[in-house]
A and B are shown apart, each in its own frame.
Chain A
Amino acid sequence: MKQPLLTADHLSVQYPGKNGLLDAITDISLHIRTGETVCLVGESGSGKTIAAKTFMRLIDYERGRIAAGHVQFADQDLVRLTDKELRRLRGRKIAMVFQEPMTAFDPIFTIGSQLIETILRHQRVTRQEAWRRSVDLLRRVGLSEPEARMHQYPGELSGGMLQRAMIAMALSCSPDLLIADEPTTALDMTIQAQILQLLKELQREYGMAMLLITHDLVIAAEAADRIVVMYAGRIAEQAETQDLFREPYHPYTKGLLQSITAPDSMRKSKLYSIEGSIPGLHDMPSGCRFHPRCPHAVERCRSEVPELTGLNGRLVACWRAEELRHSGNVQARPAVIEAEPMTSERKETLIEAVGLSKWYPLKRGTGGKERFIRAVDDVSLAIRAGETFGLVGESGSGKSTLGRVILQLERATKGEVYFRGEPLTQLSGARLRNMRRHMQMVFQDAGSSMNPRWKAGDIIGEPLDVHESLSRKERKARIEELLQIVGLSPDMADRYPHQFSGGQRQRLGIARAIALNPAFLLLDEPVSALDVSVQAQIVNLLLDIQERMGLTYLFIGHGLHVVRHLSDRIGVMYLGQLVEVADSAELFLHPAHHYTRALIASIPHPDPAGRGTARVIEGEVPSPAAPPSGCRFHPRCPAATERCKLEAPELQEIGPGHYAACHFPA
């Protein structure tokens, strides 16, 4: 067996907090061998990023301190290295790729100068040689016209392109270890798949070790040889990818695996979810840190910390791992989406949009004619009472704008919106405000959608104050009732939004939205910002409320599986246009538009056995300010012909209830 490249041994890191030192990570032991991909999986606050930063000693810049343990890299002791030695190591031996490519580059220097600087810092080469090498690297990471890119500033490149450039920079000195911290999280679905594939190829090519940090087990399944699961600053479990997915030992891993919305989940069924939320650094539970949320916890878990111990060639930190091994495991089965019978009864239409457009004017250039960003361009759709209409698309597709224009939070440039036959686009002032009680909204980032100076009770009570005149007592009773409906305790009404966890804040947001018994809810990516184990809780709550109150949902999301799970019908948007509408199952079984096919194909499979089946779609989403002619998807479409370039396809019915805007539907 090869000597490990990086070894962490009982590593603990502390950060100074207001009331003394906080343990960010405790007792972390892991190793990475050359050529191996290890995935560090954990939710927010699990310490996975801090662990990675510790391996480069970047925590020094954040007042972090290694409190105990060793880190050995090749033959060097990372804990004892001086600043000078560290600088020689960083970038040359260990390189890092960050989550936000937009912020990881300095915006005032060109991509080229930043690449060359990195190369010159670590290697004795001439400037010309460095330039030549940079161009090669950019070409290797799949950027078109690398010479031109060298002269561009970070602001001129899209997120996916910048992430490629970032990877090129990390590779510039052929590091032995590449640390990738959530490299795909900030990117669009189709771009995620591209980047993940690129990373895997490069790792093989350069023979590097890779530490991939992610919150998404699906990505780990796709890329990792070995997976290390972290929870609240400790390692919960470590195993080979195949083993972990076949039979997780730790109850937390079991829970995480089960909370993944499977591609073949029974639609609208309750999802498995882990109760409660992740503890904060300042109030860590005693004993096993997972015990307050663990369904199998016993007395011992509360008082004694379980050590990471070997069991069948894997490592797990759980007192009851041995006895629980076989309980509660889901068997991986081939995903089969079952066709559903067509809903024959046509329910009445609640909301109808006709030829809806929202154009934002761009600053006019001198002498040029006025240009627009066509965020939403001529979209027509009807949402029936009681159904959930899912809307998917990548960033820039205009899905959020469409939602806001339907709710009249932004005024349409063209077109009409009807609510129960009433033309909303023509209402204004008090009459429109009065209509708002029937249509409410849940935001992606619940925290920022609340006035930070208000208490939870007042936030929920606000719609009541505006639309209803309740007595003090009635108002209080209603607020408590609402809190209970969304699964919060009534005594939380006196807390401020920042005192809630992310999941709880989203519950508050939902309570506010349903306070007036609306008929329609716009759900704008309500679970995207939440941790995996909490997402399922919110999805279940939304299903529960819909059933109880007979609500109609417009669900905007980018996680295709979650959208499929909740929605009766799904609309796919691309560059401001609706390209396909179909029943949920039908869309996944027989996607007609090539973009939809590409989207579905780009989903990584939550099962290592199906690894590599995700197909990658080429190219980036063009700017909505200058959309391609004809069919907007034609530059990326595998089936495009001359006709697609010239003639824009209309949305037309290709099957019962199945619409697609494509000249050559599949």
Chain B
Amino acid sequence: MTVKDFVLGKTVWRESKRQTAARPRLRSLGTGDWLAAVSGVILAFAALCALFPGWIAPYSPTSMEADRVLLPPGAAHYFGTDYFGRDIFSVVVYGARDSLLIGVASVLAGGLAGCIIGAAAGIAGGVIDLILMRFIEIVMTIPGILLALAIAAVLGPNLFNMIFAVAVSMVPGFARVFRSQIISVKGRAFITAARSIGMPAPRIFFRHVLPNAWSPVLVMATIGLGTSILTAAGLSFLGLGVVKEIPDWGTLLSQGRGYLTVAWWISTFPGIAITLLVLSGNILGDWLRDRLDPKREQR
């Protein structure tokens, strides 16, 4: 009787445990999830603006209405008009393309270069690490905007050079973060375990080190998106931006600076657009990082 009861006891308990485990977890969506959803919508909208501005903008960004100069925001012009009588909302929508392009392309280029340098330094260690990192530190002593300014000034103002200039200014940050990340993962016991089973070094790197090292870089990239848009804006403001009919958000921001006291809306709305984009990127990046951590999945 005892044996049977005992066996029964165990099975019943296991059974009930299994049921609780299989029950769908009705975890209410947390604040983080809502924020991430809103951020996703904002980013998607920005992308839509960049791809198909004609669908969204009510006016042409280049049409100047002499009788509608410096109108405050209203029903006809959501964001108001500027000194030339352009509809600011439309300009912001059309400007999304260049802003996003500069942001995404420079983060991709700068991030990739930075990660390669950081990974090389972190893996090789020793003299190579020393040389690469001292070089990176030298680059870091020059403020990002100044570096980008110098590059843009030397190469001349066009879109590609601007992306290049902003990308170079982003390299040191990525290199340093990725290097320290690689070094910390390299020292963990599961890397020793992989070596102890005779796994070749390149395979260890791609299968174990990289997947455990890249999430801070992902977060950095989303933050970098905003920084690079701002850097680009700075370049435009100093006259080294791309001279075009349709200004990007940074250019628009600086164009409005002179009218800040009479027409606050010219600078404010592109500023809000930049802020929203940066913020959305950060929130989504944080949320993604949490999602990418297997330990956070259920607890």
Contact = CB atoms under 8 A, between A and B. Distances in A.
Interface of A: 18-19, 283, 285-286, 291-292, 294-299, 301-302, 404, 407, 409, 430, 432-437, 440-441, 443, 445, 448-453, 462-463, 466-467, 496, 498-499, 512, 516
Contacts of B212: 451-453
A445 B189 contact: yes
Given A292-B10, A299-B9, A466 B2 contact: no
B13 A450 contact: no
B17 interface: yes
A291 B9 contact: yes
A295 B10 CA distance: 10
B63 interface: no
A437 B198 contact: yes
Contacts of A434: 198
B196 A297 contact: no
A300 to B, nearest CB: 9
Contact of B194 (A19, A298, A462, A496): A462
Given A292-B10, A443-B192, A452-B212, 17 more contacts: A19-B25, A297-B10, A298-B2, A409-B196, A433-B200, A436-B196, A441-B192, A448-B188, A451-B208, A451-B211, A462-B197, A463-B197, A466-B198, A467-B198, A496-B297, A498-B294, A512-B197
Interface in B175-198: 188-190, 192-198
The 3 nearest A-B residue pairs measured at CB: A436-B198, A433-B198, A449-B189
B6 A452 contact: no
Contact of B197 (A286, A302, A432, A440): A440
Given A451-B208, A498-B294, A297 B5 contact: yes
Contacts of B190: 448-451
A292 B11 CA distance: 9
Contacts of B244: none
Contacts of B297: 496
Contacts of A496: 294-295, 297
Contact of A298 (B9, B13, B208, B294): B9
A441 B196 contact: yes
Contacts of A291: 9, 13
Contact of B27 (A18, A433, A448, A516): A18
Contacts of B203: 466
A41 to B, nearest CB: 25
Contacts, number: 102
Contacts of B25: 19
B20 interface: yes
Contacts of B299: 18
A462 to B, nearest CB: 6
B190 to A, nearest CB: 5
A407 B27 contact: no
B146 interface: no
30 contacts: A19-B25, A283-B20, A291-B13, A292-B9, A292-B14, A298-B2, A298-B5, A298-B6, A298-B9, A299-B8, A302-B9, A432-B198, A434-B198, A436-B197, A437-B197, A440-B196, A451-B194, A451-B207, A451-B208, A451-B212, A452-B295, A453-B212, A462-B194, A463-B197, A466-B200, A466-B203, A467-B197, A496-B295, A496-B297, A516-B197
A441 B198 contact: no
B291 to A, nearest CB: 12
Contacts of A432: 198
A452 B294 contact: yes
A662 to B, nearest CB: 34
A466 B197 contact: yes
Given A292-B13, A451-B208, A453-B211, A299 B5 contact: yes
A183 B178 CA distance: 39
Contacts of A498: 294-295
Nearest to B293: A452
Contacts of A453: 211-212, 294
Nearest to B200: A433
Contacts of A18: 27, 299
Contacts of A516: 197
B124 interface: no
Contacts of B16: 286
Interface residues of B, number: 36
A466 B199 contact: yes
A286 B13 contact: yes
B260 interface: no
Contact of A19 (B2, B13, B27, B193): B27
A448 B194 CA distance: 12
B12 interface: yes
A434 B199 CA distance: 9
A283 B198 contact: no
A433 B5 contact: no
Contacts of A443: 189, 192-193
Contacts of B5: 297-299
B193 A302 contact: no
Contact of A449 (B9, B13, B193, B211): B193
Contacts of A283: 17, 20
A450 B193 contact: yes
A112 B294 CA distance: 45
A433 B202 CA distance: 13
Nearest to A498: B295
B229 to A, nearest CB: 32
B13 A407 contact: no
Nearest to B16: A286
A435 to B, nearest CB: 8
A407 B198 contact: no
A116 B72 CA distance: 67
A298 B212 CA distance: 47
A435 B17 CA distance: 44
Interface string B1-37: 0100110111011101100100001010000000000
A409 B192 CA distance: 7
A440 B193 CA distance: 9
Interface in B64-111: none
Interface centre among B188, B198, B207, B208, by most chain A C-beta atoms within 10 angstroms, is: B198
Nearest to B208: A451
Interface string B193-223: 1111111100100011001100000000000
A274 to B, nearest CB: 13
B6 A285 contact: no
Contact of B9 (A301, A435, A440, A499): A301
B199 A433 contact: yes
Contacts of A295: 6
A660 B242 CA distance: 81
A497 to B, nearest CB: 9
A378 B188 CA distance: 28
B174 to A, nearest CB: 22
Nearest to B194: A462
Contacts of B208: 451
A462 B204 CA distance: 11
Nearest to B17: A283
A323 to B, nearest CB: 11
B157 to A, nearest CB: 45
B9 A407 contact: no
Contacts of B298: 499
Contact of A512 (B2, B192, B193): B193
B6 A449 contact: no
A367 B253 CA distance: 59
A530 to B, nearest CB: 16
Contacts of A298: 2, 5-6, 9
Nearest to B203: A466
A499 B298 CA distance: 9
Contacts of A436: 196-198
Interface in B232-278: none
B192 A449 contact: yes
Interface centre among A283, A292, A301, by most chain B C-beta atoms within 10 angstroms, is: A292
A645 B208 CA distance: 49
Contacts of A463: 197-198
A449 B10 CA distance: 31
Nearest to A467: B198
